[in-house]
Structure 1
Amino acid sequence: MEARGRGVFAARRQRCPARTVDRAARHHGGDQRARGDHSPAGFIAEKLVTGEADVAIQQISELKQIGGIEVVGPLPLDLQAPAVFSAGRMTASRKVDAADHLLHHLASTAVWPVLRETGLEP
């Protein structure tokens, strides 16, 4: 990977561990460690808009929330750290049927297009 501008990678530690960024850089024949910027919070892609970085690594669903950037795609699978979302309801819920209906709907294939549109994979 070629270094250009102020920063090659801007990565959020919680979403893309430093080892993932290092592995990605080595995969492309470079050494990222001296150029990385690991921000503790927020949308790291905002650094693209402000010109503080040339590349941002973050969850696609979070990248898509920042206007003025181009999301070029996911990292190779062997470099990804998947996030798994789950949902449940309280056993003492007063609206068990409504909660179960919502949970079943969220787990159905009917919501897959919406998930994909926002950058999530069902």
Structure 2
Amino acid sequence: MRDRRGQGAEPDAARPTERAPSVRSEGAPAPPERAEAVLPEGVEAPPAADLAALFLLLANSALFHLGEGPDAMGEAAPVDFAQAQFSIDLLRLLREKTEGHRSPEERRLLDGIL
């Protein structure tokens, strides 16, 4: 048996490649809205995926790794200073990278967390 890949009519280098445009043009339609998920009765919808939710996720992670909450079994969570520091560093990075782009509420929340 012989490998015949790349032995077609034209070499791979000569074949045109298709690429999705990296920037949407002015006349291009907006991406479709995400469809609402149908949840079973009694199941709460997840919180909105926004910057405040990300800040709170990282803050809770830092607190958990500092031993401020129980683990999944209800036991005291083990302290992991390195992971707590990582979460705090990510929050500081987000503060730096989102400067001037946060709402007043997001700014107050992040300042309060840090």
TM-score of the pair, normalised by structure 1: 0.23
Between Structure 1 and Structure 2, the one with more strand by share is 1
TM-score of the pair, normalised by structure 2: 0.24
Between Structure 1 and Structure 2, the one with more helix by share is 2
Q: Which has the larger radius of gyration?
A: 2
Higher relative contact order (Cα pairs below 8 Å, separated by 6+ residues): 1
